[in-house]
Structure 1
Amino acid sequence: MHPIEKIRAEHGAPFYIYDGKVISEQASILKNTFPGFGILFSIKANPFMPVLKKMASLGIGADAASAKEVDLAIDAGMKEIYYSCPAPTKEDIDHVLDKCRIIADSFHVLTLLEEAAAARSLTLAVGLRIHPDFTMDGSPQMPSKFGIDESLVWKTDFRKAYPHLTINGLHIHIRSQVLDTEQLGNYYENVLALAIHLQNHLGNKLNYINFGGGVGKVYDAAKQDPLDFKKLQQTISSIKEKYKNELSTKFLLESGRFLACDCGTYVTEIVDIKESHGKKFYIVKNGANGFFKPVLRQMLLPFHPDQIGASYEPFATENDSYEIHVLSDSNETEIVDIAGHLCSGADIMAKDVKVKKGTIGDLVTFNHAGSYAYSLAPLLFASQPMPKEFFIDE
């Protein structure tokens, strides 16, 4: 019996199923492309503990965006944990202070860290997130809630302003889901040039440079070309060679989507079929309150009919981001809308999609559900049962 059918028979639907073998394959691609880099998994992409333990078994560390995610990473056995949050509280900092490497996102966070270090009579090593002057595609830089503007960094005497802190790490992240090899190469080189400037400004070496995310994956094969990983590897090797005498430091790369997206499938069940003004609807359990991303994409479609903007990541991606299958014995197909059973007209997962002709009780699957899927869904809306999660590793 197929794992999906086995889970349905034992537990019902809806549910998520994650495949550990796919995670291993994706991790191998990153490790081969970025030799010597530390790879960090963005916990927010998928905090399911079996997934995190799989990441840990592969030597992947954690990019934690909350104090709770630091605890999850520790419980999963992750050895390297970097905590980067745009606005941690004093309580957050007290909780994580001795559990991970902390990256400061603002001057206020630096002040909180200085106070915490002074109270403990210690010198605390912290990383600094910078909002750089450069961009991924060469367009003018825009204001951001993330990081400290590069221009303000050069005006700050960090040793004088924060005597109990040592800035020993750099973190930059300006865009996710990049599928342009040349753009990524230029970005990495710009980060390293900034790192050298920062070292000179600080008067001390950096222990690590976190390039953030950016490595994209294909959602729509008809419109998107995958990254040329062989070319990207060559680019990385060339850049590392160029800067090897000026930067003897650890390089880090973050990934949530690339590592986990393809490992997940969302499985739900048709609970009603109806027609309205010539349109056929398959009504399924837990649409928006199970797998929100395709619903949100449909909501944004009138405003962005051709392509979703990068600013919407990770909440929405491309137009045709998911392969949708009705697990039916029928040889016929039909064009339908797939809608969830919430009391909301916006609970539409797909419009005018061609699928096998289904009947009530048939399962419907969505791929690309391993990252930013369960963790983004408004699960409590309408107080309905939540989808379950399952992990296989065969």
Structure 2
Amino acid sequence: MQRQDLLHAANEFGTPLYVYDAAELDAALSRVKTAFGDARIFYAMKANPNLNLLRRFAAAGVGFECVSSGELARAEHLGLAGERVLVNGPAKSDEEYAAGARLGATFIVDRAEEVGLLPPRSRSLVRVNPAMQISTHDHLATGSKASKFGVTLEQAPRVLQALADAGHDALGLHVHIGSAIRDANDFTAAFGRLSELRAQTGPLRVLDTGGGWGLGADLGGIAERARATAAVFGAELWVEPGRYLVAQAGTLLTRVVGTKHTGRHFCLVDAGMTELIRPMMYGAAHPVEALWEREDQATEPILWDIAGPACESGDLLARDVALPAPERGDLLALGEAGAYGASMSSTYLTRSRPAEVLYEGGGWQVIRRKENPADIWRVEE
């Protein structure tokens, strides 16, 4: 998308606004397919569950990894079932077990106790936690020793055997060490620890190496290591990209409502933690682009904190962003917002969640309308 396209979208649909570039969605999936070859791909739906994006991935042969009954309902609504659906999560409910069974999905077993909770004759994988130091924010490190996810390396062979003994179809192992991982060597280390289990597990049918690749990661290198690990077990390779497939396709557009100069320089905008909570939650840094140009711009850019409208000190979308002097009505674009922007948005302060629009073929399609306050309180009456 070009700057004029973003300006047009903001003027037509208002701000805050989530915009997605269909070409980048397709390009990201193509990069994954090229790197991982014939590996089976499951999209981690939590990154962005918009039905229009899901339909696009489903039409391309992608399955879905679901972690709630609501996500399973989305998969069912789209007609996906069987081997194209995974049920994940550390604390699955009875409703989620039932939904997974109804769809004939594969369950990712997160603890030994689950062996006795699965529906009869379930297909299953055992999630292993390699207990490593992961190069990402602590809240995103699912493969660390302190994480709530998975069984230990020592427990994994016993859980696999328990699944088989209970009559379940134990396909193999699953490992997902985190999200937005900065150092690709983390994957090498995790896969290496998994390989050590081969003597105890014997050959497996499936090895699911999850996702979590940083947006600038060397996918080819990571894929090569994943394939080599799968070969150790004689297993088919599965992967679960989420953020990688949608983040760079999405932009959050927001307008400047004013500025103030106190202890710092604040650029006040109409989007905040309710539209993009990742900076507050994970310390995530999203690229920020000013979409204004003024010929009479006389001052050099200074550093601004991009501050949202919530009455919360942490409601900051970015710090120390170099901008030419912003004026009320100017437009900012926050990049890499396609993942965990809309999906983690909230109605805190009874703020209406923004519209979502898709850019394809030179035009815009509304794929989720903006809420109004009555939409929010309808379930309360």
Q: What is the TM-score of this pair, normalised by structure 1?
A: 0.78
Paired residues of 1:87 and 1:109 also in contact (CA < 8 A) = no
Distance 2:70 2:201 in 1: 32
> Which structure 2 segments of 5+ residues have no match?
136-142, 362-381
Shift of 1:266: 0.4
Task: Say which SS state the counterpart of residue 248 (structure 2) adopts.
Answer: helix
1:7 matched to which residue of 2?
A: 9
Distance 2:131 2:48 in 1: 31
Shift of 1:16: 0.5
1:209 alignment partner AA: L
Distance 1:387 1:393, change over 3 A: same
Paired residues of 1:134 and 1:190 also in contact (CA < 8 A) = no
Let me know the Cα RMSD of the aligned residues: 2.8
Distance 1:156 1:92, change over 3 A: closer
Paired residues of 1:111 and 1:162 also in contact (CA < 8 A) = no
2:218 alignment partner AA: D
Distance 2:226 2:129 in 1: 22
Paired residues of 2:174 and 2:207 also in contact (CA < 8 A) = yes
Decide which of 326, 330, 333 is 2:290's aligned counterpart. Answer: 326
Decide which of 387, 391, 394 is 2:354's aligned counterpart. Answer: 387
Distance 1:159 1:352 in 2: 53
1:108 matched to which residue of 2?
A: 113
Shift of 1:66: 1.2
Pairwise mapping of residues 1-394 of structure 1 onto structure 2 (< 5 A)? 2-76=4-78, 78=80, 80-99=84-103, 100-113=105-118, 116-117=119-120, 123-132=121-130, 142-155=145-158, 158-159=161-162, 163-194=166-197, 196-197=198-199, 199-200=201-202, 206-218=204-216, 227-235=217-225, 243=232, 247=234, 249-276=235-262, 279-296=264-281, 315-317=282-284, 321-331=285-295, 332=297, 333-377=301-345, 379-394=346-361
Paired residues of 1:326 and 1:357 also in contact (CA < 8 A) = no
2:337 alignment partner AA: A
Q: Percent identity?
A: 24
Paired residues of 2:129 and 2:144 also in contact (CA < 8 A) = no
Distance 1:57 1:85, change over 3 A: same
Paired residues of 1:290 and 1:386 also in contact (CA < 8 A) = yes
> Which structure 1 segments of 5+ residues have no match?
118-122, 219-226, 297-314
Paired residues of 1:136 and 1:184 also in contact (CA < 8 A) = no
Moved more, 61-70 or 150-159: 150-159
Paired residues of 2:160 and 2:170 also in contact (CA < 8 A) = no
Shift of 1:182: 4.2
Distance 2:226 2:277 in 1: 36
Distance 1:267 1:274, change over 3 A: same
Moved more, 229-238 or 176-185: 229-238
Paired residues of 1:105 and 1:128 also in contact (CA < 8 A) = yes
Paired residues of 1:14 and 1:266 also in contact (CA < 8 A) = yes
Task: Say which SS state the counterpart of residue 364 (structure 1) adopts.
Answer: strand
Distance 1:182 1:108, change over 3 A: closer
Distance 2:223 2:73 in 1: 33
Distance 2:34 2:252 in 1: 29
Distance 1:198 1:66 in 2: 32
1:269 alignment partner AA: R
Paired residues of 2:302 and 2:324 also in contact (CA < 8 A) = yes
Shift of 1:233: 5.0
Shift of 1:251: 0.9
Report how many aligned residue pairs link the two structures.
345
Distance 1:160 1:229 in 2: 33
Shift of 1:25: 1.2
Paired residues of 1:56 and 1:77 also in contact (CA < 8 A) = no
Distance 1:43 1:161, change over 3 A: closer
Task: Say which SS state the counterpart of residue 17 (structure 1) adopts.
Answer: strand
Paired residues of 1:17 and 1:390 also in contact (CA < 8 A) = yes
Distance 1:352 1:370 in 2: 23
2:366 matched to which residue of 1?
A: none
Distance 1:85 1:294 in 2: 24
Distance 1:197 1:66, change over 3 A: farther
Shift of 1:294: 2.3
Listed one character per residue, the Cα deviations across residues 168-217 of structure 1 (whole Å, up to 9, x for unaligned) are 232122233334444434433443443x34543xxxx6332111123222
Listed one character per residue, the Cα deviations across residues 348-386 of structure 1 (whole Å, up to 9, x for unaligned) are 222332113221111111001011222223x22111222
1:105 alignment partner AA: D
Q: What is the TM-score of this pair, normalised by structure 2?
A: 0.80
